[in-house]
Amino acid sequence: MKVAIYCRLSEEDRNKQLETDDSKSIQNQKTMLLQYAMEQGWELYNIYSDDDYTGSDRRRPAFNRLLKDAEQHRFDIVLCKTQSRFTRELELVEKYIHGLFPIWGIRFISIVDNADTANKGNKKSRQINGLVNEWYLEDMSENIRSVLTNRRQNGFHIGAFALYGYKKDPNQKGHLIVDEEAASVVREVFTLFSQGYGKTAIARMLNDRGIPNPTEYKRLHGLRYQPPKMKNSTLWKYSAIASMLSNEIYIGNMVQGKYGSISYKTKQNKPRPKSEWYIVEGTHEPIIDKELWDRVQQLIAQKAKPFSAGTIGLFARKARCAYCGYVMCSSKSHDLHYLRCSNRHVAKDACVGSFIPVKRLEQLVIAELNRLSAAYLDTDQLAQNIQFTNTLQEQKEHLAASIATYQKKVQEYSSGIQGLYLDKVKGLISEADYLAFSKNFTTERARLMHLIEESEKQMVQLTDKQEKGDYRRALIMQYTNLDHLTREMVDLLIDYISVGRRIPGTQDVPIEIHWNF
């Protein structure tokens, strides 16, 4: 019998006194479960471990790899310390432990609470455990929510990161103190804007002087920050200046709760209306005085131009610069609307910059839709699509072979680690030798498991392409012979459009449309 061990460490049961406690706690689970598996005479298939994840988080990477491997019956048993380590959701208990695992021929065992699907008599106790865990999640979520709401209402800062210009007060939890180095930049931004400088011009001035943007500043000073996802992440942007100029925290008011969670079962957040924000005045030292703040807000109101229902918003958030990847912003000249790279003017050589008239982009998209429509109505083209499908199948078969090879090697490394552990238990090798020998095995196994995960993602994408072939034809046929686009059409049909620069000597602007089908 092959056994898969699953371990999980969550925030609620972590001992935070030492950074190494996380790994020790996980190691304790592994040791207990390995010992139990050896006593039963089971062969170890793999150890799946999620660190710092709650039992309600369905995005746990190791948890999802375990489920994929279980579906393919790569092992016979799932072994956990407790049922709650596997999941705290009753829905998942019923779906997997009582539903799919028996269909897949998988036995579930948790040692401490004696859950064992081979024992038909304790199904009700497993369901009760699942219900109690579900209640625990809900109660814990409500308790945390009420505590955080109370602290927000009382003006305590509860965010993971302090706003640029401030630092967390080491002597008073929930209190912000001025970070003078960054605060001087904030004051300069407000002053420049009050003197008539535009947001892009201010960003360029800061970049030309080599002043790091908020994220880079925090990284350089060893402060907590959200890692950037885009290129040129060290540069100031229009959006950063705009956000700064409208943030009341800079006048001493604590503003929180702009986003709220959808459910305690997910980490996804959604924007909340301003009427539901928590705003408490005078909670910390202001960086900007009220007079300058009021002057800046008045200028912002004067310059604000609401979006019309016309073409200016047709490709909003859909057009991206082909050179730097940033979303293109809209501009207007002589009653004509254009899209340009928002990164073009923020610094020297930041980006060569994309530029295209909105009307021209609309024409190119319509032309491509018509071309696709004609292609799918052409029987010869349909025959080529069948060949394309065959090509996809060949790619899938190649991927499947690669995944099988990776899995075989993972199993070999897992067996090697198990053998080393047994040698250590028997006293054949020392603890130091065990750690030294197993480190290379573990590193290589982790690399292979990452390759498996990436290959499986590619497999899903290829399958989607095969399945959506007929749907694509039906969808495109709905949008033939168009004269113009609407925002609804753009949202439905287009994921994003990569836009380049005009080819010298021509009127052609290269674009690449990434469809939603």
CATH number (domain holding residue 354): 1.10.287
Average pLDDT, the chain: 79
Taking every pair of C-alpha atoms in the chain, what is the biggest distance, in angstroms? 84
Please check the confidence at residue 231 and state whether its pLDDT lies above 80: no
Q: What are the tens digits of pLDDT across the range 46-104?
A: 999 988 777 777 888 999 999 999 999 999 999 998 888 888 887 888 889 888 999 99
Overall domain count for the chain = 3
The CATH number of the domain holding residue 202 is 3.90.1750.20
Residues 142, 259, single domain; the answer is: no
Residues 274, 335, single domain; the answer is: no
Q: CB neighbours (10 Å) of residue 111?
A: 16
> Letter for the amino acid at 103?
I
Residues 455, 510, single domain; the answer is: yes
Cα distance between the two ends of the chain: 44
Task: Give the pLDDT score at 58.
Answer: 82
Please check the confidence at residue 215 and state whether its pLDDT lies above 60: yes
Domain boundary among 136, 151, 166: 151
Q: CB neighbours (10 Å) of residue 17?
A: 7
Rg for the chain, CA atoms, rounded: 29
Range of the domain at 312: 306-517
Task: Give the pLDDT score at 9.
Answer: 82
Which range has the worst mean pLDDT, 45-49, 59-63, 136-140, 330-334? Answer: 136-140
Using CA atoms, how far apart are residues 183 and 225, in angstroms rounded to an integer?
17
Using CA atoms, how far apart are residues 359 and 484, in angstroms rounded to an integer?
9
Q: What are the tens digits of pLDDT across the range 355-397?
A: 899 888 998 998 888 887 776 655 444 445 544 455 667 777 8
Residues 293, 160, single domain; the answer is: yes
Domain boundary among 100, 116, 151: 151
Torsion angle of C-alpha atoms 454, 458, 459, 463, degrees rounded to 10: 150
pLDDT-above-70 percentage for the chain: 78
Residues 327, 294, single domain; the answer is: no
Please check the confidence at residue 30 and state whether its pLDDT lies above 80: yes
Which range has the worst mean pLDDT, 295-309, 321-335, 500-514? Answer: 295-309
Q: CB neighbours (10 Å) of residue 162?
A: 20
Residues 168, 235, single domain; the answer is: yes
Q: Helices 180-194 and 238-245, interaxial angle, to 10°?
A: 90
Using CA atoms, how far apart are residues 279 and 284, in angstroms rounded to an integer?
13
SS3 content of the chain, % helix, strand, coil (to 5): 50, 15, 35
Measured between alpha carbons, how far is residue 328 from residues 84, 184, 197, 496 in Å? 47, 30, 21, 11
Yes or no: say if 355 and 249 are a contact pair by the CB < 8 Å rule. no
Q: What are the tens digits of pLDDT across the range 442-455?
A: 777 887 888 888 78
Please check the confidence at residue 43 and state whether its pLDDT lies above 90: yes
pLDDT-above-90 percentage for the chain: 21
Domain boundary among 151, 185, 212: 151
Yes or no: say if 481 and 310 are a contact pair by the CB < 8 Å rule. no
| pLDDT winner (highest mean) among 356-365, 462-471, 481-490 | 356-365
Residues 385, 262, single domain; the answer is: no
What is the pairing mode between strands 43-51 and 2-9? parallel
What's the sign of the alpha-carbon dihedral 240, 243, 248, 251?
A: positive
Using CA atoms, how far apart are residues 245 and 234, in angstroms rounded to an integer?
19
Non-local (6+) Cβ contacts of 424 within 8 A are 430, 431, 433, 434
Residues 349, 293, single domain; the answer is: no
Average pLDDT over residues 166-180: 91
Predicted TM-score (pTM) of this structure: 0.46
Residues 93, 164, single domain; the answer is: no
Residues 295, 312, single domain; the answer is: no
Which range has the worst mean pLDDT, 58-67, 136-145, 286-295, 414-423? Answer: 136-145
Residues 336, 468, single domain; the answer is: yes
Band (pLDDT 50/70/90 cuts) for residue 136 is low
Residues 381, 272, single domain; the answer is: no
The CATH number of the domain holding residue 26 is 3.40.50.1390
Please check the confidence at residue 183 and state whether its pLDDT lies above 90: yes
Using CA atoms, how far apart are residues 324 and 476, in angstroms rounded to an integer?
30
